[in-house]
Amino acid sequence: MKARTLFHVSDLHLGKNLETERRAIAIRDALVAVDADHVVVTGDLTHRGRSRELALFRRIFAPLAERDRLTIVPGNHDRLGDDLREAIQGEARVAITRAPGLHLVRFDSTGPHNRAWLSGHGVMTEEDVASISAAVDLAAAEALVAVLLHHHILPLPADHPAERLASWLGWPYADELERGGDLLGALRGRCDLVLHGHRHASQAGTFFGYDPRPVLVFNAGSSTDLGRVRVFAHTRGRVIGAPAWLAAWPEERRSPVRPGVASRPAMDLTPTT
């Protein structure tokens, strides 16, 4: 069976400025050029949570959405302004999207506190962990299982001084999700990928690495900052080899990729056109 591709985009922050829009279009063009089988976007689609910013996202990524190749979850920035939570996620905090070869569990890790600019941290309750676990259980035997959420489940370095200051003051804004470790434990042996964003530097980690089915956790970083998108090749419910990077614009205009915990070597997957 031919391997399929799954691309991980995050933190586009559309509406921030014109350059962000140009970069999102370049990312879309690169994804279309390689005929991406499926693309996930893990939150902060918009910068100010405005309906017009979401409309812009939908316009740009229409070529993928129209072919059912796009799956999205909300981030804290999407809760600002017009509060786009429901427009992005629907009613439930946990939902399942099935695509060829994929079982995607979408978790909304945002909360009402995200309506305020400074309260960017996520929320994950014991019930959320149980709901995610139950949704994972419904996967077909030969589907790749991925949990999609915006916030980080493990501690990660702060992106900028304000986050370091918040942590120093004991505020929760830069913290990882409470119960992130519980979620990892619940997913052990039953889930292949945890894909998130929020932190704008890219990170990667492998957990339960000696298991036949380890759990791989990836932070996409901000795709419009980085200029590249991680791609996983998969077949029969398993990731094949190391993920590669799809470059959306030339190397000299891209932000450096911060090496992650147990990250694998990065490669460029050059668009075919």
Residue numbers at the binding site for Fe ion (CB under 5 A): 11, 44, 75-76, 198
Contacts of 99 (CB under 8 A, 6+ apart): 37, 38, 68, 69, 71
C-alpha dihedral over 142, 143, 145, 149, to 10 degrees? 180
**How far, in Å, CA of 47 to CA of 151, rounded?**
16
CA distances from 13 to 6, 174, 220, 224 (A): 21, 18, 14, 8
Name which of 75 and 101 has its Cβ closer to Fe ion: 75
CB-nearer residue toward Fe ion: 98 or 113: 113
Cβ atoms of 47 and 224 within 8 Å: the answer is: no
Residue (76 or 133) nearer to Fe ion, CB: 76
103 vs 200, beta carbon nearer Fe ion:
200
Provide the b/e sequence for 51-70 (b: ≥16 CB within 10 Å).
eebbebbeebbeebbeeebb
End-to-end CA distance of the chain: 25
Structure tokens at 191: 């889930």
Least Å distance, CB 165 to Fe ion, is 17
The residue (of 201 and 244) whose beta carbon lies closer to Fe ion is 201
> Shortest approach of Fe ion to residue 210 CB, angstroms?
33
Min dist. Cβ of residue 222 to Fe ion (A): 6
Smallest gap from Cβ 20 to Fe ion, in A, equals 11
Q: Which is nearer to Fe ion, 198 or 234 (CB)?
A: 198
| Smallest distance, Fe ion to C-beta of residue 111, A | 12
In 77-121, alpha helices (H)? 85-89
Strands 193-196 and 203-207: unpaired
Cα separation, 144 vs 142, whole angstroms: 7
Least Å distance, CB 11 to Fe ion, is 4
> Least distance in Å: CB of 41 to Fe ion?
11
Whether the CA torsion 86, 89, 94, 96 is positive or negative: it is positive
The residue among 44 and 53 lying less far from Fe ion, judged by its C-beta, is 44
